[in-house]
Amino acid sequence: MGIPTNSVYARAVNWYQMTNATATAIRSNEDIFVSGILAVIGGFGLMSNCIAMVAARRNPVLRNAFGMLCFSHSIANFGVMVVFVFWVTPMTLLQSHLSTELPGKVMGQILIMFWDVCVYSHLLISVNRIVAITLPHQASTLFNIRRTGFMLAAVWTLGFCHIIPYFWGGFHQHVKLKPR
């Protein structure tokens, strides 16, 4: 015996199906819109950071500690943009469950590393500028090329150290992400 088509239950099921189809269509349009925004802004970010890297390497004025810090910051920003343009944008557009599985988690870890290096590089740039302003005669000694190289090595090492726990064997099995 079936449920009558004019019953409250049948009407509720029909309403739910129509609402769900409409919500899926709206979400699809939102995903396309958001992916477009991510692609445009990310593409602009990739180009801007490429220009900044070239300028930091070719400009003779930036062949110093500040130029090294800016170059490192641009590389880290470029890494963030690469992940957003080539991973986050397609995953947003396709609504793939791959983003919640191991590849998505690894890409998230890489993004965390680049983001942390961005933050630490920015901090070093700020310290470099405050030293240059407050101690102009000692600035070239405190931030010589060798020391700056060690500082940048520490920044990149620290950025990598932040993601090491995520690579431990059981971490990926214990973290359950729910797709939206």
Instruction: Give the tens place of pLDDT for each residue, 21-42.
Output: 554 555 688 889 999 999 999 9
AA identity, residue 152 = L
As a whole number of angstroms, the distance between CA 151 and CA 120 comes to 10
Q: What is the pLDDT of residues 46-97, one digit of tens each?
A: 999 999 999 999 999 999 999 999 999 999 999 999 999 999 999 998 888 8
Report the chain's C-alpha Rg in angstroms.
Answer: 24
Average pLDDT, the chain: 86
8-174: CATH number: 1.20.1070.10
pTM attached to this predicted model: 0.77
Question: 21-39: string of b/e by CB count within 10 Å (b at 16+)?
Answer: eeeeeeeeeeeeeebeebb
Q: CA 73: distance to chain centroid?
A: 14
